[in-house]
Amino acid sequence: MSPRKRLLRWLGWFAVVNAALLGIIGLRYLWLYAALGRTVSWSYALVASVGHLSALACVPLLVLLVPVATLIPRARLVLPLGVVLASAGVAVLVLDSLVFAENRYHLNVLTFTLLEPQTWAFLALYFLVALAIESMLASWVWQRTARPTRRAGRYLALGLVGCFVTAHLVHAWAEAHYDGSVMALTRYLPLYYPLRNIGLLARLGLIDRTAARERGVGAALQRPATGDLHYPLAPIQCAPRTPALNVLLVVIDAMRADALTPEVAPRLTGLARSSIEFDRHYSGGNSSRAGMFSLFYAIPATYFDEFASRARPPVLMDVIRQHGYELGLFASSPIYRLVDLDRTAFAHVPNLRLETSSGDDSSGRDRVLTGEWLEWLGRRDPSRPFFGFLYYNAAVSIEAPADYHPAIPPPTRSSAQLRSRNVRYLEAVHYVDSLLGQVLDDLQRRKLLDRTVVIVTSDHGIEFDENGLGFKGHGTSYSDYQMRTPLVVRWPGRPPGKVARRTSHNDIAPTLLTELFGCANPPSDYASGSSLFSDAQWSWLVVASYREYAVVEPERVTVVFPAAYEVRGPDYRLVRTQAPPRDVLRAAMLEMSRFYR
């Protein structure tokens, strides 16, 4: 056997042996996953663990060392490199399993920078122990590969690849069918990013998206409330104020803060004069799903998957329903697509209205939505307070009616790009504002305005490359343009005014629960924020998207990607020093794991 061929055979079998070793270490993750009780899917968990941990063991060894063994087929070089690389992987996985068991998050590029000196010392110890074990394994495998063997290795490799592929396909299928028992495993395995593409399955005709959603949400509602999600931290104790005030929450998708001007939004600006306007308000997301999650749950949207897989509503909606509020929930976009309210905030709402009944485009659906709301308000039970929710979509779609061209003077508060290049966006905001005017006029006509808490905000902002960095739309950056939203609160009995301190969506649910429903619990039992009427302001804020998240501070933004991070300044440009804010990030990571047992 040639030296090159023997080295390649050794690498293959050494990778397989390390896959078995990582599998043994990974039993810690399965043990924690098993704590979820009857909600686990053991068949998927075993296949996914074998496939994923095998990939973690084999891919680095093969990708890095096969070229070396091919070009320089010397055992004295390749074997020590393999031992060192495998030892490093084992040591990191051992530490990751301990960190996850303690804190419920995994190691990544960022969390490595937060490790204390004693933790680095333990990591060095793990590496030395792994070095001894890997040296013995490498020697044993080297001796075993001296003679040609049968094709067992090929079948074993095919089996491991099969487990890897099968796990990703099963996850894609499970997500399309809202199977929380499968999706719950994702956060337990390090560096595990399973396949998620419901749209592709639907386009291929492999699933009926509507039927799958109905079955999946139904199954989630019937699933036992077990697992490691501990929310709220204590039972909620409330004594609602009398007489009960109605609540109307209006969300204008992608309305940015500087669009709240008399020129662009005259009716909302007029409402703000008799209300409380929060000038430095931030969403908890730069996309719809994360923004709406933070609005209703008042905690980081990094928890989304856990709540969605269990169809667990927020404390706010639990309390609203417990106190007999009649629900009028109207959304222009289907609530099961981008925002997923059907399996989060509104999961337990009977006969939930999933989408607007008609309308050819966003502006048409917004118009229909307004009419349906007015009709609902006219036939509701007047003896019960109501909770209304209106979600408008024309602004984010930049779709005002074709014949809608109001004379909008250039808004002085807005950016130059917004004033000069995005007239249709401003017209769409103006159009939604006119529909909001109809809603407010109707409340006034019915003499309900003075008995209703009216909250108008957005799920996120939108950007038109104001910083010259190429970021456009939403969900693309964590600049102020995508995170800052208007917030206008008209609260009967409270004087109007402007609030200049920093507030966020995390403060809205605590405000309603403490001020309207008289909940005695500290907001920390169920939220990351506090009442809007307190003097508190955030010094840092977790803002999430779909895969990554950011920790926002007044002077910088730390964006955390799955395998990297970056620190940006107030103008959203990369700062010269990329040293992360250690104390702030530790506090943020604690907040993102505080509601896990």
Q: What percent of the chain has pLDDT over 70?
A: 92
Q: Kindly indicate the confidence band of residue 44, based on its pLDDT and cuts at 50, 70 and 90.
A: very high
Question: Which runs of E-coded beta strand occur in 342-481?
Answer: 386-392, 452-457, 463-464, 472-473
> Which residues on adjacent β-strands are paired with residue 250?
390, 456
pLDDT value of position 66: 95
Convert the pLDDT of each residue in 207-230 to its tens digit: 666 666 666 666 666 665 556 789
pLDDT value of position 418: 67
CA–CA distance, 355 with 530 (Å, rounded to integer): 32
Q: How far is CA 500 from CA 460, 482, 535, 536, in A?
A: 19, 19, 11, 12
Q: What percent of the chain has pLDDT over 90?
A: 73
DSSP 409: P
CA–CA distance, 504 with 330 (Å, rounded to integer): 23
CA atoms within 13 Å, Cβ hemisphere of 253: 29
Q: Kindly indicate the confidence band of residue 199, based on its pLDDT and cuts at 50, 70 and 90.
A: low
Mean pLDDT within 578-583: 92
Angle in degrees, CA 542, 343, 207, rounded to 5: 115
Model pTM score: 0.89
Mean pLDDT within 85-90: 97
| Per-chain mean pLDDT for the chain | 91
DSSP 437: H
CA–CA distance, 282 with 279 (Å, rounded to integer): 9
Q: Which two tokens stand for residue 565?
A: 């991070």
Which residue would you say has higher pLDDT here, 520 or 350? 520
Determine whether 483 is exposed, middle or buried from the number of CB atoms within 10 Å of its CB (0-12, 13-18, 19+).
Answer: buried
Convert the pLDDT of each residue in 538-558 to its tens digit: 999 999 998 899 999 999 999
CA–CA distance, 460 with 470 (Å, rounded to integer): 18
Contact assessment for residue 597 and residue 582, using Cβ atoms and an 8 Å cutoff: no
- Identify the CA nearest to 164 among candidates 41, 21, 19: 19
Angle in degrees, CA 6, 8, 14, rounded to 5: 100
Convert the pLDDT of each residue in 96-133 to its tens digit: 999 999 988 899 888 898 899 999 999 999 999 999 99
Query: Phi and psi dihedrals of 248, rounded to 5?
Result: -125, 115
Determine whether 86 is exposed, middle or buried from the number of CB atoms within 10 Å of its CB (0-12, 13-18, 19+).
Answer: buried
pLDDT value of position 209: 62
Q: How far is CA 119 from CA 130, 320, 586, in A?
A: 16, 46, 15
Q: Side chain identity at 325, as an amino acid letter? A: Y
Convert the pLDDT of each residue in 144-172 to its tens digit: 888 766 677 788 999 999 999 999 999 98
Q: Kindly indicate the confidence band of residue 308, based on its pLDDT and cuts at 50, 70 and 90.
A: confident
Q: Side chain identity at 156, as an amino acid letter? A: L
Convert the pLDDT of each residue in 508-548 to its tens digit: 999 999 999 999 999 999 999 999 999 999 999 999 998 89
DSSP-assigned states of every residue in 272-308: HHTSEEEEEEE-SBSSHHHHHHHHHH-S-GGGHHHHH
> Is the peptide bond prior to 3 cis by the omega test (within 30 degrees of 0)?
no
Chain centroid to CA 109: 19
Convert the pLDDT of each residue in 401-440 to its tens digit: 999 988 887 666 667 766 666 888 999 999 999 999 999 9
> Which residues on adjacent β-strands are paired with residue 326?
386
pLDDT value of position 408: 83
Spell out the alpha helix ranges (H) of 177-208.
180-183, 198-203
Contact assessment for residue 567 and residue 580, using Cβ atoms and an 8 Å cutoff: yes
Strand, helix or coil for residue 528: coil
Q: How far is CA 304 from CA 139, 157, 345, 544, in A?
A: 47, 36, 11, 10
> Is the peptide bond prior to 117 cis by the omega test (within 30 degrees of 0)?
no
Q: Which two tokens stand for residue 358?
A: 């008609």
- Identify the CA nearest to 106 among candidates 595, 478, 563: 563
Q: Kindly indicate the confidence band of residue 265, based on its pLDDT and cuts at 50, 70 and 90.
A: very high
Which residue would you say has higher pLDDT here, 238 or 242? 238
Convert the pLDDT of each residue in 377-388 to its tens digit: 999 999 999 999
- Identify the CA nearest to 93 among candidates 20, 198, 1: 20
Contact assessment for residue 376 and residue 327, using Cβ atoms and an 8 Å cutoff: no
Helix (H) or strand (E) holding 100: helix 75-103
pLDDT value of position 58: 95
Query: Phi and psi dihedrals of 519, rounded to 5?
Result: -70, 130
Q: How do the domains of the chain map onto residue ranges?
A: 3-215, 246-528
Q: Kindly indicate the confidence band of residue 41, based on its pLDDT and cuts at 50, 70 and 90.
A: confident
Question: Which runs of E-coded beta strand occur in 186-338?
Answer: 246-252, 276-282, 326-331
Ranges 176-180, 282-286, 312-316, 434-438: which has the least confidence: 176-180
CA–CA distance, 5 with 11 (Å, rounded to integer): 10
pLDDT value of position 438: 98
Note the CATH number of domain 246-528: 3.40.720.10
Chain centroid to CA 393: 20
Angle in degrees, CA 425, 428, 432, rounded to 5: 145
Contacts of 141 (CB under 8 A, 6+ apart): 10, 13, 14, 17
CA–CA distance, 363 with 432 (Å, rounded to integer): 8
pLDDT value of position 216: 65
CA–CA distance, 517 with 511 (Å, rounded to integer): 9
